[in-house]
Structure 1
Amino acid sequence: MHHFQLPIHSLPLVRETGYMYDTNGEFTHPNRKMEKIHVFVFVVEGCIYVCENGVEYSVKKGSYLFLRKNNTHWGTKHYHPGTKWFYIHFYQAPTVIGDKPEYNHLTQTSLIYEDVYDSKISFPIHGDITNVEYMAAKLQKLVSMYEQPLPMRPLHLSIAAYQFFTELYSNQLEKNQEANKHYVVNQMIDLMRNSKHNLTGEEIAETLGMNYAYLSTLFKKQTGMSVKRFQNELLIEKAIEMFKKKEGNVSEVSDALGFSNPFYFSRVFKKVTGVPPTTYINERFY
């Protein structure tokens, strides 16, 4: 497995964090197996050499490495003279991560559904960071927080570590995006967001000048949902805005959004939000 995974519904629980340096190149990474602790290392100068599970890593300036709990890792040679690095040692709440879907960052509407929180974010075990100074400043702030005797220090540290890792995840997304494919999907998303009704496959294909079978397959692969489901979520988002502004009852909103009848609208609304529109209105507005 060449990725490190975090569930988005739980915090990385910080045990220790710090900043270190090796002026003369005297250190090697310790030979150890940490049964409950994950390790994150980010190098700001020089180079660290580590081996885990038979894979050797050269962690150079501007790169990071995750070392997973219950795996033996060790140093293969001395660090470069002048090497400087940050580290985070953290626990992870017991949970089964492997079967969880990857967090879908492309098609989030203003509504946040329950299944969003039952997903994960995945990082390459070893990777580079583009905005090195910014991320180093974030880690320095984390170290300073660790050194302060604050009343809620464990919680504040873990929240700050979670924020750091989510920014690292965003950094990786920007770096690793398949530019052309994401450009097409983003065009589809913009087209559907700006439409007042659910577009047909023919309308989408004609507007973008591409085959719809290819577009729908690409959309599902990149976003994890069908074009129809995404368009329905957008319509329900509009319906909720109309309810908030008291722009009509269920039947009137259903008609305004182009649904064939209020019963079908109610079925789609419940499928998207988990509750019928009447229940949502009563819970939200009364």
Structure 2
Amino acid sequence: METDVYLTADRFPLVRDIGTNRVEQVYTHPDRLLDYDVFVFVAEGSMQVVEEGREYVIGAGEHLFLKKGLRHWGLPQTAPGTSWYWIHFNSAADDKRMNYADHPPLPVLDYFFPDHYEYRFPMPKHGTSLFHRTLKERLDLLLADYMNKKPHRMTRVSLQAYLLFMELKQASLPPSASPDTGRSTDTLDGRVIAYLMQHMEEDYDSGKLAAHMNLNYSYLSAAFKKLTGRSILEVHTRLRMNRAIELMRTSSMPVSELSERLGYKNPFYFSRVFKKTTGESPSAYRNQFY
């Protein structure tokens, strides 16, 4: 059963309400089935919650996401003196009209492409991090904004909640992740991306990559696609187009020279690849710069 709560890149979560509570007696979480997602952060004490048969004990400085449509309840095990915050919100991740990918764009491909925002990502279900040390103060500010009935209050609060969730997501990444790729250089996909970044100004050579990785290429290709949602050739091509965009931004290099710089022998072919990848020709893309 899927219990992860997902957010999407193209629409921020819409906050329903925000609150805080403290109990001085043993507390039992209500038995509920909700049509919205829940974020809980325990500031003091500990809270016991069961979601569809799985028990969670949220300690001080820990969070838990509860998924809409799943029954959750509690036993009389939440300790006296426990205080917590909650955010109730609706995410677009379950919109059946959208075909969201489960893999975000790789950080090295962060220039806009037509499908750039069409993905969803899971929030860390339960846990803590260094970020959680400041979470109580952040939630106090968010709650104050929620209670302050200014124009566009709910939109502002929803945007702030989205940013908070994104920072919480970032804090959950493994410390070994490379700041350039978002992948650990010890993993298969991280090693492939590191190699592609070193050879982005060359034609793609699957044989050289397989030899560098000391792996069968068919296995390597399938494993990379499963980990990233993209083919190795697609990532190599997008890296080259990103390099072209960087050169456009920092120089007046003509298309023919750009093409040659990036290892394309035919500038017309380079232009076709650029337009297929970005949706615009090199000249049209460049004309957007100020």
Q: Is this a same-fold pair by TM over 0.5?
A: yes
SS at match of 1:267: helix
1:31 aligns with 2:36: no
Deviations for 1:121-179, whole angstroms, at most 9, x for unmatched residues? 1135x4112222133332232223223333332111101110111122223332798x8
Q: Which residue of 2 aligns with 1:5?
A: 6
Indicate whether 1:200 and 2:218 are aligned.
no
Q: Deviations over 1:80-121 (max 9, x none)?
A: 122121110123357228842124253442412231211101
CA distance in 2, matches of 1:204, 1:71: 45
What is the deviation of 1:209? 5.0
Change (3 A) 1:92 1:277: same
| Residue 43 of structure 1: how far off its partner (Å) | 1.7
Shift in Å, 1:67: 2.5
Q: Indicate which of 219, 225, 237 corresponds to 2:224.
A: 219
Asked if 1:230 corresponds to 2:235, the answer is: yes
Higher strand share: 1
Counterpart position of 2:122 = 122
- The normalised TM-score by structure 2 is 0.83
Q: SS at the partner of 1:160? A: helix
Paired AA for residue 167 in structure 2: E
Listed as ranges, the matches of 1:67-78 within 5 Å are 67-78=66-77
Q: Distance in 2 between matches of 1:176 and 1:52?
A: 31
Report the Cα offset of residue 248 of structure 1. 3.0
1:17 aligns with 2:21: no
State the percentage of identical aligned residues: 34
Q: Which amino acid aligns with 2:78?
A: Y
Deviation, structure 1 residue 184: 4.0
Task: Single out whichever of 183-192 and 76-85 deviates more from structure 2.
Answer: 183-192
Within 2, Cα distance between the matches of 1:181 and 1:238?
21
Corresponding residue number in structure 2 for 1:86: 85
- Asked if the contact 1:109/1:233 (under 8 Å) is kept, the reply is yes
- How much is the aligned-residue C-alpha RMSD, in angstroms? 2.9
Taking the aligned partners of 2:28 and 2:68, their CA distance within structure 1 comes to 19
Aligned: 1:158 with 2:158: yes
**1:102 aligned to 2:106?**
no
Query: Contact 2:7/2:122 (CA < 8 Å) preserved in 1?
Result: yes
SS of 1:117's equivalent in the other structure is coil
Distance in 1, Cα, partners of 2:68 & 2:126: 19
1:172 partnered with 2:177: no
Aligned residues: 281
> What secondary structure, in the 3-state scheme, does the structure 2 residue paired with 1:86 have?
strand
* Distance (Å, rounded) in 2 between the aligned partners of 1:98 and 1:265: 32
> Aligned equivalents of 2:6 and 2:186: distance in 1?
23
Q: 2:192 aligns with which of 188, 191, 198?
A: 188
2:263 to 223, 243, 258: 258
Q: CA offset at residue 270 of structure 1?
A: 1.6
Shift of 1:40: 1.2
The alignment's TM-score, normalised by the length of structure 1, stands at 0.84
Contact 2:25–2:81 (CA under 8 A) maintained in structure 1: yes
CA, structure 1 residues 138+13, in 2 after alignment: closer, same or farther (shift >3 Å)?
Answer: same
Give the Cα–Cα distance (whole angstroms) in 2 for the partners of residues 176 and 221 of structure 1. Answer: 20
| Whole-angstrom CA distance in 1 between matches of 2:133 and 2:163 | 16
Asked if residue 249 in structure 1 is aligned to residue 231 in structure 2, the reply is no
Amino acid at match of 2:248: F
The worse-fitting range, judged by mean Cα deviation, of 70-79 and 111-120 is: 70-79
- Structure-2 separation of matches of 1:197 and 1:264: 15
Q: How far does residue 66 in structure 1 lie from its aligned partner after superposition?
A: 2.2
Report the 3-state secondary structure (helix = DSSP H, G, I; strand = E; otherwise coil) of the residue aligned with 1:58: strand
Partner amino acid, structure 1, of 2:24:
T
Could you tell me whether the CA contact under 8 Å between 1:7 and 1:97 is conserved in 2?
no
Paired with 2:29 and 2:175, the residues of 1 have a C-alpha distance of 28
Contact 2:65 2:126 in 1 (8 A): no
For residues 227 and 53 of structure 1, do their structure 2 counterparts lie closer, same or farther at Cα, with a shift above 3 Å needed? same
